[in-house]
Amino acid sequence: MQGLMMDMPLLISSLAEHAARFHAGREILAVTADNPEHRYTFSDAVSRSKRLAKALQALGLEQGDRVATIAWNDHRHLEIYYGVSGSGLVCHTINPRLFPEQLVFIINHAEDRFICVDPMFVPLLEAIADKISNVEGIIVMTDADHMPDSKLPNLHCYETLLGEQSDDYEWPMLDENAAAALCYTSGTTGDPKGILYSHRSTILHAYASVAPDAMGLASSDTILPVVPLFHVNAWGIPYSAFMAGAKLVLPGPKMGDGEALYQLMDNEDVTMALGVPTVWLALLQYTEQAGKRLDKLERTLVGGAAVPRSMIEAFHKKHDVELRQGWGMTEMSPLGTVNAPKAGLEGLSEDERLDLATKAGRGIFGVEMRIVNDDGEVQPWDGVAYGALQVRGPWICSDYFKLEGKAGSHTDDGWFETGDVATIDPDGYMAITDRTKDVIKSGGEWVSSIDLENCAMGHPGVAEAAVIGVAHEKWTERPLLIVVPKEEGGIEKDSMLDWFDGKVASWWKPDDVVFVSELPHTATGKVKKIELRKQFADYELPTS
Ligand code: ADP
């Protein structure tokens, strides 16, 4: 027997309608290159998204066509999210920090017909213009007065296009499984791979994200996404903020600027901020130097890479801000786990609480997890056994765009291979111990590079740390610690290595430490271990 409920498709346009109806006056503040303080409302954003949808239609775009963006987090980028996806086109966000050859690959692979671009990124397109012949037009995200002087053919001005349209527009009724957005993984090895989100997956992910034990978003919140709209939809914030009716603060090109972020938080009464650990290092460093306190911020969601215990402690103790760790992937829309407190664990000591907070968190409803060993055997959730982490759920990719199963990313029984190695404890808290390819294999046992990095980051003189495995005659591999000290020459080698005594198993202690002035980072701000491994491939560890 079938239920008797309406079969309404879950569409991104319905979020726009909801926000415009129930939260019309809620504010969106954006920093853009042409205006450091652009302020308008949800109602304005939705009206302009409709005008954009009409403009794109007038340019000849049809359902399923890809429209790319290369832009920072601002109000125009947000309007493109709704105007493009809401009208049945596919919003393909591109990371401007990619190498030119990656940009060419991605734009051609996606078959983008139009690209919306921030004025400052126009030179990126000029440099590759002759290699992206499928692109019919470039829409520069600014007004007529700020249009760059460029020889690119088919250049349009965003504000002029919008000015030519009214907002008299009905969103089309689409299939909820239709493609809505496209994002490529940075691809540290091989070509980037495209993840094609659907309307349905996006809405379900938004429902799950706003829940109290996930992001816990309410209409009373003011959200600062320091995660880019060009990567995994800024963790879905454009959608979940519209669902909740929360005020948005979009930092534009100021994402890596600790002082600017602090000012935005303070001026706009930000209650919730999201970002990768590197971003918060910059903010914490600024507050420390300037003697400031994050008085208004209530909580942060930090993920995308392991979060050092020292960072959790700094937020908590110095600023009285709750830091929730999250784990996810581009392939997962991205949210998989969030480390929220759980009933029954109230009695934990301060120290135990901090230890727990270093874990990636509990699976949110909609994401199933399992860990399997090298023989494919499912491992117990005892917090000790580790294995390759596999997941499944309605906002996890079933394949990559145009790869038709060739990526080998899924098991025969339909689980997605995350490429992460993890433990899961009896309470369901998952902890990432490594990327499969970063695991250090010492004497047949696995050493967690993440645990060692976390421990090193707790040293007061350490600004950033990475641990890689280097070849060792007897043990196959041994850990090498690479440290960026806060002050050059500020840490002695021995004192750095002794720091691990009593904090990790003795055989995990790195064999050596190298001090460097900076670590290489990926386009999404993560330490590029592949490059470090290349750089230190011939490194000779001390023999004793
Ligand atoms: P890319 O780095 O290719 O751009 P993603 O942004 O999708 O891709 O990164 C996903 C990966 O980031 C995860 O598979 C995991 O290795 C790492 N990651 C994400 N969150 C965490 C976390 N909280 N702790 C440790 N690693 C994390």
DSSP 132-198: -TT--EEEESS-GGG------SSEEEHHHHHHT--S--PPP---TTSEEEEEE---SSSS--EEEEE
CATH architecture of 440-535: 2-Layer Sandwich (3.30)
Task: Give the pLDDT confidence score for residue 138 in this predicted structure.
Answer: 98
Quick check: CB of 524 below 6 Å from ligand 1?
yes
Expressed in angstroms and rounded, the spacing between residue 421 Cα and the centre of ligand 1 is: 11
- Average pLDDT of span 298-311: 93
pLDDT, averaged across the chain: 95
Please tell me the least confidently modeled range out of 91-95, 252-256, 430-434.
252-256
Quick check: CB of 277 below 6 Å from ligand 1?
no
Please tell me the least confidently modeled range out of 359-368, 432-441, 520-529.
520-529
Quick check: CB of 186 below 6 Å from ligand 1?
yes
Asked if pLDDT for residue 523 goes beyond 80, the answer is no
Atom number in ligand 1 closest to CA 185: 3
Task: Give the model's confidence band at 544: pLDDT under 50 very low, under 70 low, under 90 confident, else very high.
Answer: low
- Average pLDDT of span 412-421: 96
Task: Give the model's confidence band at 530: pLDDT under 50 very low, under 70 low, under 90 confident, else very high.
Answer: confident
Which residues sit opposite 117 in a β-bridge? 70, 140
Quick check: CB of 336 below 6 Å from ligand 1?
no
Q: Is 12-21+39-203's fold the same as 367-435's? A: no
Which phi-psi region, left, alpha or beta, contains residue 431 (left: φ > 0; alpha: ψ -120 to 50)? beta
CATH architecture of 12-21+39-203: 3-Layer(aba) Sandwich (3.40)
- Average pLDDT of span 8-17: 98
Strand, coil or helix: 366 = coil
Expressed in angstroms and rounded, the spacing between residue 282 Cα and the centre of ligand 1 is: 20
- Angle CA(263)–CA(268)–CA(270) in degrees, nearest 5? 90
Task: Give the pLDDT confidence score for residue 281 in this predicted structure.
Answer: 86
Report the candidate in 248, 249, 227, 207 with the shortest Cα–Cα distance to residue 15: 207
CA distance 93 to 267: 29
pTM of the shown model = 0.91
CA distance 78 to 446: 43
Asked if pLDDT for residue 189 goes beyond 70, the answer is no
Please tell me the least confidently modeled range out of 348-362, 436-450, 458-472.
436-450
pLDDT digits (tens, 9 = 90+) for 324-354: 999 999 999 999 999 999 999 999 999 999 9
- Average pLDDT of span 92-108: 94
CA distance 81 to 239: 9
Domain assignments of the chain as residue spans, ordered by start: 12-21+39-203, 367-435, 440-535
pLDDT digits (tens, 9 = 90+) for 210-236: 999 999 999 999 999 999 999 999 999
Quick check: CB of 420 below 6 Å from ligand 1?
yes
Task: Give the pLDDT confidence score for residue 99 in this predicted structure.
Answer: 84
Atom number in ligand 1 closest to CA 526: 2
Asked if pLDDT for residue 188 goes beyond 60, the answer is no
Residue with CA at minimum distance from ligand 1 atom 5: 329
CATH architecture of 367-435: Roll (2.30)
Task: Give the model's confidence band at 527: pLDDT under 50 very low, under 70 low, under 90 confident, else very high.
Answer: confident
